């Protein structure tokens, strides 16, 4: 939250060199993904985060995360911290001037010389909002095709109650992000993630004996439905809602799906238990937020595909943030490692 002061153990000149930015502009819009070391910055960006922190000597500095459709970057200023923080509220669009650099330790960043509220004429939503690589309409068609392959009538009815084209639930699911930061953190990300996980589950279920494909696919499509209420709908500053912080995405999703199953007359208790277990266990371990661990073939398969989808989504994000010529990303908490984009990816 802007204006909140936190302690930081950062040397005054650790994050940027001492060179002064010329504050110059650019001809036309240059996306964050296209910027190179030493380039002057003058453009509009969405504000994901903004904090006022303290140097060792007690003086304030401002640190914010700016984003456009191509990437995101850390931006800092040792001067005018309160002024810049007041202009850069999370979820707002600001026009900034400064200098882009690639620090050997801290990576891509902008040294700010000016921050102000952006005029409407200085940006468009398409410039600043990332989205899935596949058109949403195509993903919706693929999802409906996949639902059509579910043979169990009760499970298909359950899916229609959540993904029916005219339902409010579907509209929110269609637009929701899959995460705050690590993977598919953009509108349409939840649809992309859930669809790819379910498609992977559908394909893999034919390779392993003993898996109930209908249960596995249904659980995969519904496993993250709690995120529709756990995250807000701000494309520039994705964050948890109060419900997301207080209850968590897994309990929310379990409650919504379980309640719906109980409202379907004669719904098979064994099916209800199987779907509930997938939702409750899909994070795979207690330390990762699941109240139970996967104990059925279907739950184990959904967890594996969910983990794979999230990991590969993190690779996609990190590749967008690479500087020109780089093969290794910065250390990423989502991967617990740096990502390599060498010969195999060329």
d(CA 221, CA 191): 9
Residue range 252-285, pLDDT digits in tens: 999 999 999 999 999 999 999 999 999 999 999 8
Tell me if 309 sits within 8 A of 197, measured CB to CB. yes
pLDDT tens-place string over residues 27-51: 467 888 888 888 999 999 999 899 9
- For the stretch 191-250, pLDDT in tens is 999 999 999 999 999 999 999 999 999 999 999 999 999 999 888 888 999 999 999 999
Residue 132 is predicted with a pLDDT of: 86
CATH code given to domain 5-128: 2.40.50.140
For the cut 50, the answer to whether the pLDDT of residue 18 exceeds it is no
pLDDT classification of 22: cutoffs 50, 70, 90: very low
> What average pLDDT does this structure show over 65-92?
91
**284, 174 in Cβ contact below 8 A?**
no
pLDDT (mean) for 178-185? 81
- Give pLDDT, residue 255: 98
Which pLDDT score, from 0 to 100, does residue 230 have? Answer: 96
Share of the chain above pLDDT 90, in %: 61
Q: Where are the alpha helices (DSSP H) in 51-130?
A: 81-87, 125-128
Average pLDDT of the residues in 323-339: 79
Q: What is the pLDDT of residues 285-297, one digit of tens each?
A: 888 889 999 999 9
Confidence at residue 286, expressed as pLDDT on a 0 to 100 scale: 86
CA distance 316 to 183: 8
pLDDT in tens, 81-106: 999 999 999 989 999 999 999 887 77
pLDDT surpassing 70 at residue 113: yes
Which residue in the block uniquely carries the two structure tokens 């195999």? 344
CATH 2.40.50.140 boundaries in the chain: 5-128
17-31, 144-158, 167-181: lowest mean pLDDT where?
17-31
Q: Where does the chain hold its CATH 1.10.3210 domain(s)?
A: 136-319
First to last CA, the chain: 40
Q: What residues pair up with 111 in beta bridges, in sequence order?
A: 76, 99
Q: Which two tokens stand for residue 60?
A: 């304030």
- Residue 332 DSSP class: B
Report the candidate in 170, 208, 214 with the shortest Cα–Cα distance to residue 191: 170
Query: Is the model's pLDDT at 21 over the cut of 80?
Result: no
Residue 320 has pLDDT above 60, yes or no: yes
pTM: 0.77
So what's the pLDDT on residue 72? 84
Number of H helices, E strands in the chain: 12, 6
pLDDT value of residue 157: 97
Query: Would you state the pLDDT for residue 28?
Result: 60
Confidence of residue 189 (pLDDT cuts 50, 70, 90): very high
Average pLDDT over residues 125-151: 92
Spell out the CATH class of 136-319.
mainly alpha
pLDDT higher for 158 or 309? Answer: 158
Please give the residue that has the higher pLDDT: either 323 or 48: 48
Q: Which of 53-62, 71-80, 113-122, 320-329 has the lowest mean pLDDT?
A: 320-329
Query: What pLDDT sits at residue 23?
Result: 37
Of 58 and 322, the structure prediction assigns the larger pLDDT to 58
């Amino acid at each position: 939250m802007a204006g909140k002061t936190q302690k930081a153990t950062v040397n005054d000149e650790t994050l940027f060199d001492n060179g002064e930015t010329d504050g110059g502009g650019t001809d036309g819009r240059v996306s964050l993904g296209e910027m190179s070391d030493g380039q002057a910055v003058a453009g509009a960006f969405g504000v994901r985060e903004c904090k006022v922190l303290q140097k060792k000597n007690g003086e304030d500095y401002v640190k914010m995360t700016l984003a456009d459709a191509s990437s995101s970057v850390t931006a800092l200023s040792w001067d005018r911290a309160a002024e810049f923080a007041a202009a850069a509220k999370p979820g707002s669009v600001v026009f900034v001037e400064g200098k882009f650099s690639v620090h050997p330790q801290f990576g891509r960043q902008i040294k700010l010389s000016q921050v102000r509220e952006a005029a409407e004429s200085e940006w468009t939503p398409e410039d600043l909002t990332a989205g899935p690589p596949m058109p949403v309409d195509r993903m919706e068609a693929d999802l409906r095709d996949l639902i059509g392959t579910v043979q169990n009538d009760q499970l298909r009815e359950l899916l229609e109650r959540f993904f029916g084209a005219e339902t409010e639930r579907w509209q929110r699911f269609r637009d929701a992000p899959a995460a705050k930061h690590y993977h598919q953190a953009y509108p349409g990300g939840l649809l992309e993630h859930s669809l790819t996980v379910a498609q992977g589950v559908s394909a893999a279920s034919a390779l392993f004996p003993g898996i109930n494909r209908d249960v596995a696919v249904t659980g995969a499509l519904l496993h993250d439905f709690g995120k529709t209420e756990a995250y807000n709908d701000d494309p520039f500053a994705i964050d948890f809602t109060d419900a997301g912080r207080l209850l968590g995405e897994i309990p929310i999703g379990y409650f919504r799906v379980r309640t719906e199953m109980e409202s379907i007359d004669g719904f098979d208790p064994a099916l209800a238990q199987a779907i509930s277990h997938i939702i409750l266990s899909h994070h795979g371990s207690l330390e990762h937020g699941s109240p139970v661990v996967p104990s059925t073939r279907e739950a184990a398969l959904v967890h594996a595909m969910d983990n794979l989808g999230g990991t590969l989504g993190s690779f996609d994000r990190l590749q967008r943030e690479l500087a020109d010529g780089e093969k290794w990303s910065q250390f990423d908490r989502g991967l617990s490692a740096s990502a390599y984009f060498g010969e195999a990816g060329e």
